[in-house]
Chains A and B, each alone.
Chain A
Amino acid sequence: MTRPDDIDDLKAALSAATPRPDPERRAANLRHARENFAAHAQARTKESHSRQGTEGATRHRSAGPDRGLLTGVMTMLSRMTTRGGLVATTAIFAGCLLVLTPQGREVLTPGPFLRGEAEPPSPQPAPDAEETRDPAPSTDRPVTGSTAGQPTDDAVTAPDPLNATRMAESEEESDLDGGMMDNMLAAPAPAVRPEIAGRSAEAAAAESDFGGLARDNAPTAEGEALPLAPDTEAFANAAPSDLKITAEAPVSTFSIDVDTASWSIVRSSLMRGELPPPAAVRIEEMINYFPYAYPAPGDGAPFRAELGVIETPWNAGTRLVRIGLQGELPELDARPPLNLVFLIDTSGSMDAADKLPLLRQSFRLMLSELRPEDEVAIVAYAGSAGRVLDPTPAGDRQAILDALDRLSAGGSTNGQGGLQQAYAVAEGMADEGEVSRILLATDGDFNVGLSDPSALTDYVGEKRRTGTYLSVLGFGRGNLDDATMQALAQNGNGTAAYIDTLNEAQKVLVDQLSGALFPIADDVKIQVEFNPATVAEYRLIGYETRALRREDFNNDAVDAGELGAGHSVTALYEITPVGSDARLTDPLRYAPAEAKGTDASDEYGFLRLRYKVPGEDESRLIETPIPSELSADENASFAAAIAGFGELLRGSDYLGDWSYAAAIELAGANQGADTFGYRSEAVRLMRLAQSLSQ
């Protein structure tokens, strides 16, 4: 039974419970404030005389931080503001969101069943629709044409007017935060958080100029005991790519992405009985989680592009173009020796069954896949970084296992100190012809010490040039900082995976060991030029955080994703053929006449791929036309089911009345060989999401 006046009850109870301020404290606080005001005014006067602002510090009483720390924090904040301001509308917005995103997120809520049953008493919109729509950046603030269309490399978009308002606001807030620090023990977190958002947005801006999105998630549903640990998760995402009109923007450019973290996060959320936060849903990572068994390249190229066109499951008037890349799987016996540095987060927050213990088991699994000539070193970071295991041949299994067992969680995290040490160790291990990779295992909590995340990602970007790869493995939920993880992996020429179960460890670290650890093509970029004679509109599904500018395609200095041995990458475009009823935009009356089939074209477009052979600086080009005939394509159909599932979770506008039921049916009908049961797991998760969404 429900009563519509719950809120009123609460309000009454709250007013009754709100105490009067203590008169003595009140007087003291007011006096204190007035004194501060006077001191501040004085300091300002002095400042205006001599441009040295340090006198301002005298206004701060209380056992505040020393000036050095304060300055650091202020610098960070001001950096955040200016950089953030430059990035993009959504980035700013994400920044604001993050600033305002409190820690304790995962406080109890009633069980899913309860959530489902009760209809809101007031004429609020239907829960599903609203729930998925909520994460503000995706829907509340439409991406401006410029952001979607012309991503910038690592920074500068001219701020638009809207942006300017935001900037002013965020400046104000940062200033406030900075001021706040004066009188408080300066915790790093408040300063860091916005920075993370700004940075991850910026990192994403390496590929696109919209970026990191704080989590403003759907309520969690855990039918368990009362307040749970605070949850400080942050996810990187961007608004879905919008529809493009071929006549206006025929070229679409993006970087490949072989990360799979998003699928695992979605799974872990669903398994806990809650819908994933929409910001955690990155469709390309969901699609790329699954093996597709595309034909292997034969002609000595490191990978091969495979194309397919199917009818769009959710829209009879459009087509899905599937681009599949299959990396070659080099003869494993001939693989170069591998130097692995396990960089392991042993901060206090790692002390949970699904974190450090799972990590130990996972690495143990992987050890059995290594060769005697491979070398392993372990660096732990917590408070002060430490080398736990000197470079040890993988043949000395016992020494490595012992070192893993010695790890225990405690202390706070110093991501940068750990990273610096890990890179130093990796560089010490590197030899001609060997592959060095750091495997960073963390729950994503980089919140103490030199942890300005923009400096962190800059550092990683710098180190990328030394040839050491960096992969990030996320463990556990609660303060998973997906945004930072993504930023690090993207900047460090690596992949990000999220490990929630030992099965997942098996998949990432054992079955795909070679792919995860041996790059076969660096900086792989995809560019599709659509044919305006056959395609009226198109939309790239997923890869929002991976968009590139058109000119970046030919610019070898622009970083893009790496393809590992045996990896496959799938990208889907939803296209509207010319003449289809499903066209959402009207042709322009005064536009130059479209070439209406004059060249009898049977091509939807032209695909160009660029990649670098690892170690080389100059990219190579692969080109192939996209034929327009439909193909029966089990892989594309399954990928479409996953894409649709992702869009449902994100709350897309493009699906019409296509539902979870349809996704389940489509995925179920296209299981393929499914040797390891990944696809059937997908169907189970879809069913779970279906129940949770009701």
Chain B
Amino acid sequence: MRMKVSDEDLALAAGAGDGEAFAVLLERQYDRLFGLCFRLTGSRAEAEDLTQDICAALPAKLSSYRRQARVSTWLYRVAVNAAHDRRRRRASYMKATEGWGDWEQARAADSAAETQRQDWLIRAMASLSEDLRDTLALVLDDLTHAEAADVLGVSEGTISWRMSEVRKHLRALKEKEEAE
């Protein structure tokens, strides 16, 4: 029905009170949003909760959506902020370890190689600072450095620098593991 309308138009319509537009928009964006939440948190359960938080809070935020931003960028910014909120809450209430550190190992891997790959992924993600991890989550979602910069509220140069840091980390991690 409204499948041809752009996300941006949907968001504006939703901001103006169009419930149907909101439903369509969220339906379209949900999976991508969930994927990002997962990459930000490293835990499926956390990602589900985070997505729920975001969905529940979106209606109130839509009125602040302006056309200057692409809906995806805007939504990512919402997601990143929400993820930060959750982390702070965890840190202040539980002094908890953060995402990826306690990533559940439940996902049974179907091969030894896959297991190894996932282990490496967890180690790699856990070894990154949250800034770097957030940046990586966005860039690996095929955002350009400029878009990621926009989402995180930093300059494009910072994103590029962070990505080079990520590479350095990964390389160092590998070397360390190979040395062991």
Which of these, A9, A109, A131, A171, contacts B169 with CB under 8 Å?
A109
Q: Binary interface profile of A, 23-53, with partner B (CB < 8 Å = 1, else 0)?
A: 0011011101110111111001000000000
Whether A180 pairs with B127 at a CB distance below 8 angstroms is no
Q: In the complex, are the beta carbons of B154 and A180 less than 8 A apart?
A: no
CB distance from B96 to the nearest CB of A (A): 9
| Structural contact, B154 and A177, CB atoms closer than 8 A | no
Mask, A7-19, CB within 8 Å of B = 1, is 1011101101111
Is the pair B55, A33 in contact by a Cβ cutoff of 8 Å?
yes
| Residue among A13, A56, A102, A106 making CB contact with B118, cutoff 8 Å | A13
Q: Which chain B residues border A1 with CB–CB below 8 Å?
A: 174-175, 178
Which residues in B have some Cβ–Cβ distance to A below 8 Å? Answer: 14, 17, 19, 22-23, 26-27, 30-31, 34-35, 38-39, 44, 47-48, 51-53, 55-61, 63-64, 66, 77-78, 80-82, 84-89, 91-93, 95, 97-98, 101, 107, 114, 117-118, 120-121, 123-132, 134, 136, 140, 152-155, 157-158, 160-161, 163-176, 178
Query: Which of B44, B161, B173: most chain A CB closer than 10 A?
Result: B161
Are A10's CB and B140's CB within 8 A? yes
**Minimum CB–CB distance for A94 against chain B, Å:** 11
CB pair B164–A120 under 8 Å, yes or no, is yes
> 9 A–B contact pairs at CB < 8 A?
A6-B170, A7-B167, A10-B124, A26-B30, A33-B56, A56-B60, A103-B88, A108-B126, A216-B131
Cβ–Cβ < 8 Å partners of B172 in chain A = 109-110, 114-115, 118
The stretch among A225-233, A421-429, A502-510 that forms the contact with chain B is: A225-233
- A484 smallest CB distance to B (angstroms): 15
* A117 neighbours in B (Cβ, 8 Å): 175
B170 to chain A, nearest CB (A): 4
Taking a contact as CB atoms under 8 Å apart, the answer to whether A32 and B167 are in contact is no
Q: Which of A122-130, A383-391, A620-628 contacts B (4 or more CB under 8 A)?
A: A122-130
Selecting from A148-156, A186-194, A607-615, A634-642, the interface stretch reads A186-194
Segment among A133-141, A536-544, A591-599, A679-687 that sits at the interface with chain B:
A133-141
Residue of A nearest to B103 (CB): A17
Chain A 347-373 per-residue mask, 1 if CB under 8 angstroms from chain B, else 0:
010000000000000000000000000
Q: Which residues on A sit within 8 Å (CB–CB) of B152?
A: 100
Chain A residues, Cβ within 8 Å of B118: 13, 16-17
Which residues of B sit under 8 angstroms from A232, Cβ to Cβ? 91
> Would you call B130 and A103 a contact (CB within 8 A)?
yes
Tell me if A534 counts as interface (CB < 8 A to partner B): no
Q: With a 10 A CB-CB cut-off, give which of A140, A176, A216 has the most chain B CB atoms.
A: A176
Q: From B56, which residue of chain A is reached at the shortest CB distance?
A: A183
- A21 vs B131: C-alpha distance in the bound complex, in angstroms? 25
CA–CA, A169 and B77, complex, Å: 11
Q: Which residues between 150 and 180 of chain A lie within 8 Å of chain B, taking CB atoms? A: 168-169, 171-173, 175-177, 179-180
Q: A127-B168, A169-B153 are in contact. Are A44 and B17 (CB under 8 A)?
A: yes
B92 A189 Cβ-Cβ under 8 A = yes
Is there an interface contact between A124 and B91, defined as CB atoms closer than 8 Å? no
For residue B169, which residues in chain A have a CB less than 8 angstroms away from its CB? 109-110, 219
With both beta carbons as reference points, the residue of chain B lying nearest to A26 in the complex is identified as: B30
For the complex, is A583 an interface residue (Cβ under 8 Å from B)? no
Q: Is the CB of A107 within 8 A of B127?
A: yes
> Is A34 a contact partner of B23 (Cβ separation < 8 A)?
yes
Q: Decide if the interface of chain A is mainly helix, strand, loop or mixed.
A: helix
A59 near B60 with CB under 8 A, answer: yes
Are B85 and A61 in contact (CB-based, < 8 A)? Answer: no
* A103 pairs with B91, CB closer than 8 A: yes
Least Cβ–Cβ distance between B177 and chain A, in angstroms? 10
Is A101 an interface residue, CB under 8 A from the partner? yes
Q: Across the interface, which residues of A come within 8 angstroms of B22, CB to CB?
A: 33-34, 37
Size of the chain A interface, CB-CB below 8 angstroms: 99
Chain B residues whose CB sits within 8 angstroms of the CB of A30 once the complex forms: 23, 26-27, 30, 55
Q: Which of B57, B80, B176 is the one whose CB lies under 8 Å from A182?
A: B57
Across the interface, which residues of A come within 8 angstroms of B165, CB to CB?
A: 219
A336 at the interface (CB under 8 A from B): no
* Residue pair A18, B86 in contact (C-beta under 8 Å): no
Q: Which residue of the partner chain, among A110, A130, A183, A348, contacts B53 with CB atoms under 8 Å?
A: A183
For residue A398, CB closer than 8 A to chain B, the reply is no
B7 to chain A, nearest CB (A): 16
Residue A104 at the chain B interface, CB threshold 8 Å:
yes
Contact A102 B134, CB 8 Å, known A41-B19, A118-B168: yes
A71 nearest CB across to chain B (Å):
15
CA distance A59 to B59 in the complex (A): 10
B92 close to A188 (CB less than 8 A): yes
Contact of A107 among B31, B47, B95, B126 (CB under 8 A): B126
Q: Which of B59, B66, B120, B158 contacts A13 (CB 8 A)?
A: B120
Does A675 sit within 8 A of B, measured CB to CB? no
Listed from nearest, the 7 A-B pairs whose CB atoms lie closest are A102-B130, A110-B172, A124-B164, A187-B89, A33-B55, A140-B155, A37-B59
- Could you tell me the distance in whole angstroms from the C-beta of B87 to the nearest C-beta in chain A? 5
Q: Given A6-B167, A107-B128 in contact, is the A189-B53 Cβ separation under 8 Å?
A: no
Do the beta carbons of A216 and B19 come within 8 Å of each other?
no
Specify which chain A residues have a CB less than 8 angstroms from the CB of B98 in the assembled complex.
103-104, 107, 227, 230
B residues within 8 A CB of A188? Answer: 92
Name the one of B39, B58, B66, B131 contacting A33, with C-beta atoms under 8 angstroms: B58
Known: A11-B140, A189-B88, A189-B92. A114 touches B175 (CB 8 A): yes
Given contacts A104-B98, A107-B126, A219-B129, contact A447 B92 (CB under 8 A): yes
CA distance A41 to B21 in the complex (A): 13
Instruction: Tell me which residues across on chain B come within 8 A of A114, comparing CB atoms.
Output: 172, 175-176
Assess the B61–A176 pair: CB atoms within 8 A: yes
Asked if B92 and A176 make an inter-chain contact with CB atoms under 8 angstroms apart, the answer reads no
Question: CA separation between A121 and B61, bound complex, in Å?
Answer: 41
Q: Which residues of B contact A120 (CB under 8 A)?
A: 164, 167-168
Q: Which residues from chain B contact A19 at a C-beta distance below 8 Å?
A: 38, 44, 47, 107
A136 to B159, CA, bound (A): 10
In chain A, what residue has the closest Cβ to B153? A96
| 9 extra A-B contacts, CB within 8 A, seeds A19-B107, A62-B56 | A7-B163, A19-B47, A28-B52, A37-B19, A40-B60, A59-B59, A106-B129, A118-B168, A219-B169
Other-chain contact of B171, A62, A118, A131 (Cβ < 8 Å) = A118
Contact A179 B131, CB 8 Å, known A14-B39, A124-B160:
no
Residues of B contacting A168 in the complex (Cβ-Cβ under 8 angstroms): 66
Q: A130 contacts B161, CB within 8 Å?
A: yes
Quick check: is A412 within 8 A (CB to CB) of the other chain? yes
Which residues of A in the span 533-589 have a Cβ within 8 Å of any Cβ on B? Answer: none
Tell me whether B155 and A100 are in contact (CB under 8 A). no
Contacts of B173 in A (CB 8 A): 110
Q: Closest residue to A8 on the B side, CB-wise?
A: B140
Among the listed B77, B93, B160, B171, which residue makes an inter-chain contact with A176, where contact means beta carbons less than 8 Å apart? B77
Q: Which residue of B has the minimal Cβ distance to A169?
A: B153
Cα A420 to Cα B38 with chains together (Å): 43
Residues on B with beta carbons closer than 8 Å to the beta carbon of A29: 30, 48, 51-52, 55-56
Given A110-B173, A175-B64, A188-B92, also A18-B38 (CB < 8 A): yes
Residues of chain B contacted by A220 (CB below 8 angstroms) = 129
* Residues in B neighbouring A10, C-beta threshold 8 A: 121, 124, 136, 140, 170
Most B CB contacts (10 A, CB to CB) among A17, A38, A56, A103 go to A17
Closest CB in chain A relative to B127 CB, distance in Å: 5
Task: Decide if A448 is an interface residue (CB 8 Å cutoff).
Answer: yes
The answer to whether B84 touches A99, judged by C-beta atoms less than 8 angstroms apart, is yes
Set of chain A residues within 8 Å of B87, measured between Cβ atoms: 102-104, 230
